[in-house]
Chain A
Amino acid sequence: MKIRMKTILKTTAGLLGGALVVALVLSGSVTAQAKDLKLLNVSYDPTRELYQDFNAAFAKYWKDKTGDTLKIEQSHGGSGKQARAVIDGLEADIVTLALAYDVDAIAEKARLLPVDWQKRLPNNSAPYTSTIVFLVRKGNPKGIKDWDDLVKPNIGIIPANPKTSGAARWTYLAAWGYALKKNGGDEAKAKEFVTKFYKNVPVLDTGARGATTTFVQRGIGDVLVGWENEAILSLAESGKGEFEIVWPSLSILAEPPVTVVDKNAKRRGTEVVAKAYLEYLYTPEGQEIAAKRHYRPRNVAVAEKYAAEFPKLNLFTIDEVFGGWQKAQKAHFADGGSFDQIQQAKR
């Protein structure tokens, strides 16, 4: 029996080609339709509510603009832990972290985005700001008015752990900056002040939200020291006048940055939508959402609208006092840095 290969190949190819078309049509692969897209925003602890609102608004905006259906997933945790997760392979299209150093770490260690990422968006890629304030219990029973009151005996302070939390690092630096200013730039006295501060800390949570839980829900401590947005949120959600906010005489300007994780977004085909997502944060709509969720907006008009919620404060920047995040990290939060020394002294 002789079989002609060409005949067999032609017949088989025809049959398979037809079947493939049928299969693809049945699977919906070749039908013309708008795209379904997914974005993963890896963020820090207290931004859950902000991005729940913002994601809904942006998904609608994107659907209206392009017809694409966008599903945005959120991941939250201590800023440092979140950065480590991205470095270790969590495929974030976008990171919206508590501080620039954590994004720098992603750029330097995982090389997922350029090291000059912060120049890509206005305001150092920080579309909103916040600061560090005190949340005390109703009536302020311990009479806490400023940083000096925190280091008195028998005061229970609830911050988060600077090793894992962005808010905690801002808190630490705010306390240090205050002490420096008060003592004419004396680093030793600043360290002494911060050492006393952490001696009054009974619980160190890994993230800002955990610290809020400790103070608000578990009823531990006299004062929660952390994000202004988190304090206002606690005030709003407690609903029974259980707490009060104390704005100290001096604090730090916290600039939580946002950026696209370029290589992840490229691999997942989300570069365009991820970039648009971050740009939308700077629009009046995005700024309004940030303000409603108690973050200080950059947009002047929106900021004026919400001025009553955000008192004007005397704020210093990390660049002014510490020379930027890299130097601050190395001096204070790296292994063996001043925070480790303070913890050792505490023991």
Chain B
Amino acid sequence: MMICRPGRLEAIQKYRRPDRDSGGRPEKIKMKLKTIIAAGLILAVQLGITAARAQTSEVDVNALLQRIQELEQKVKAIELEKKTATSEPTPNTTASVPSADTNSIRELDQKIRVLERNQELATEAAEARAKETPRLSVGNGGFALSSADTNFVLKLRGLVQIDTRTFLDDNSASVGNDGFVVRRARPILEGTVYRDFDFQLTPDFAGSSATLVDAWVNYRYRPELQFRIGKMKGPVGLENLQADTVGSFNERSMVSALVPVRNIGFQLGGDLGGGIASYALGIYNGAGDGRNPANNDFNDAKEYAGRLFLQPFKKSSLAGLQGLGFGVGGSYADVTANVNGLPNTTGGTLPGYTTSGLQQFFAYNPAAGAVMADGVHWRLSPQGYYYYGSFGLLGEYVVSDQGVLNTTSLARANLAQTAWQVSAQWVLTGEAASFTGITPQRAFDPRNGNWGAWQLVARYAQLDIDSDTFGSFANPVTSANSAQGWSVGLNWWLNRNLRVLTSYSRTSFDGGGGPGLTAPAAVTQQPEQVFLTRVQLSF
């Protein structure tokens, strides 16, 4: 055994320095001291029992702490009394403090310290356990359950959009009918398993039947390299990639009529340089312009699509350019006699293109025969946006060049349909505009004078039909060869979850306008003027 004795400095622990110079104390103080020490010891034992019985009870813990404090106060009072007695000796009081009393005080002090330390460790252990306990969070981002390490996450989100459409100055032949519309009603289930695998499952109950909007699994190997498979938004259109919850208007512009809404396939993508460049490359079943694909496909022809988008100043110190982004998306497919390769049929009975009021102004409706997609179909979409402060600008051009076949006349052509749009926004209440929406600085709360965020929006869009379309593939009497639409709107973001949109859109047409009571003739007989509103709940 070896002992290291480091210096001769005095110990600091009071309990280890019993006062051996009491110099006489009143007997009654000695008696009182003994009584209180005895009481203290009893209490200490009780405390131990209490602690042992109810380690996890907050009520008991509080009681325990209170009693410890009481004990400490009593010990201090005894020590003070003892000190006073020592400094003012009275006659005939020469006895020193009995060592048994000193030891008792020391033991009591140790017991209190042990209790306090064990309580401290119990608290630390409880906090550590809390860190390992699965978490439940409820907030404006939805409802989420996650493991303590967040490697497993399940989120329930939702989107409900209730619209009104009011067509102005529409003639009696018009197919535009005023009404309320449940535009979207989507519970969204998304999450993560094993840290790196994300998933999303989104049905939509807004149509006449439930449809599957999104169903994909994404592997996040790194931010720069991610693999996604399933039904998802394709990479081509910028406006189409913007979330349904944050778009400036009820409906996307005519540009988005030329790109697929969703696609099914496999996609490789990621962000480079912290988002300075982002890319996506994929192989998909393919879908016609403005279409959602069927959930199965037995056609050998596949669509290849990709996108490169740059935000070169995102990380720079040039604040005025940080919100500048631009890029290009494109797709290529070689389609064989597929009617589903043609545009969407929303608003009409034949494939075609629609307005802001979702009325079809063009259809592949030749006087004789039917039209199918047949041959090469490629799209190209230069695109960009600019956000600075409360101002935002988004622009996009799309050309959709499609091989078509008239099944009766066997006429073939490659038709280049083109569209472009520019939209602008200004957040009147000063919040920052962005591609991902607005976060109101002050959520709607009229009792406290808070009114949310207000956003002024405007858009111009145009879609031009290839002149070779008319004759063998479309009827120039009923279908327009060009549509030009402008829109203005005022949006109210009450908070992160609630939004009210109002807008007015006017779309005029070149060509078409012939007799008829159905789309597209009835639609192109006069400019479309529509007043749209939306109440949106999203979380």
Chain B residues, CB < 8 A from A203: 114, 117-118, 121
Tell whether A137 is near chain B: CB-to-CB under 8 Å: yes
Give the contact stretch, choosing among A14-22, A94-102, A328-336.
A14-22
Complex contact A240–B380 (CB within 8 A): no
Within 8 A of A (CB), among B1-29: 1-13, 15-16
Given the interface contacts A203-B121, A241-B7, does A1 sit within 8 Å of B416 by beta carbon? yes
Complex contact B416–A3 (CB within 8 A): yes
Within 8 A of B (CB), among A240-261: 240-249
Complex contact A26–B1 (CB within 8 A): no
State A9–B378 Cα separation when bound (angstroms): 11
Chain B residues, CB < 8 A from A205: 121
Complex contact A240–B276 (CB within 8 A): no
Tell whether A263 is near chain B: CB-to-CB under 8 Å: no
Complex contact A242–B12 (CB within 8 A): yes
Complex contact B4–A9 (CB within 8 A): no
Tell whether A138 is near chain B: CB-to-CB under 8 Å: yes
Chain A residues, CB < 8 A from B3: 140, 145, 244-247
Tell whether A65 is near chain B: CB-to-CB under 8 Å: no
State A202–B326 Cα separation when bound (angstroms): 67
A-side residues, CB < 8 A to B, are 1-3, 5, 8-9, 12, 16, 19-20, 22-24, 26-27, 29, 88-89, 137-141, 145-146, 156, 202-206, 210, 214, 218-221, 235, 238, 240-249, 311
Chain B residues, CB < 8 A from A146: 1
Given the interface contacts A5-B401, A244-B3, does A138 sit within 8 Å of B110 by beta carbon? no
The interface bits of chain B over 179-205 (1 if a CB of A lies within 8 angstroms of the residue's CB, else 0) are 000000000000000010000000000
Chain A residues, CB < 8 A from B2: 246-247, 311
Chain B residues, CB < 8 A from A235: 4, 6
Majority-rule SS of B interface residues: mixed
5 residue pairs, one from A and one from B, having the closest CB atoms = A241-B7, A23-B312, A241-B9, A245-B4, A145-B1
Given the interface contacts A1-B466, A5-B380, does A23 sit within 8 Å of B4 by beta carbon? no
Given the interface contacts A12-B380, A24-B273, does A244 sit within 8 Å of B6 by beta carbon? yes
Q: Of A3, A19, A204, which is within 8 A of B310 by CB?
A: A19
State A1–B330 Cα separation when bound (angstroms): 19
Complex contact A137–B121 (CB within 8 A): no
Q: List 6 A-B contacts (CB under 8 A).
A: A1-B467, A12-B328, A16-B327, A20-B310, A29-B276, A244-B5
Chain A residues, CB < 8 A from B382: 12
Complex contact B1–A249 (CB within 8 A): yes
State A245–B16 Cα separation when bound (angstroms): 18
Q: Of A19, A139, A202, A245, which is within 8 A of B11 by CB?
A: A139
Name the residue among B110, B124, B125 with the largest chain A CB count within 10 angstroms: B110
Tell whether B464 is near chain A: CB-to-CB under 8 Å: yes
Chain B residues, CB < 8 A from A88: 149
Chain B residues, CB < 8 A from A240: 7, 9-10, 12
Chain B residues, CB < 8 A from A1: 416, 418, 464, 466-467
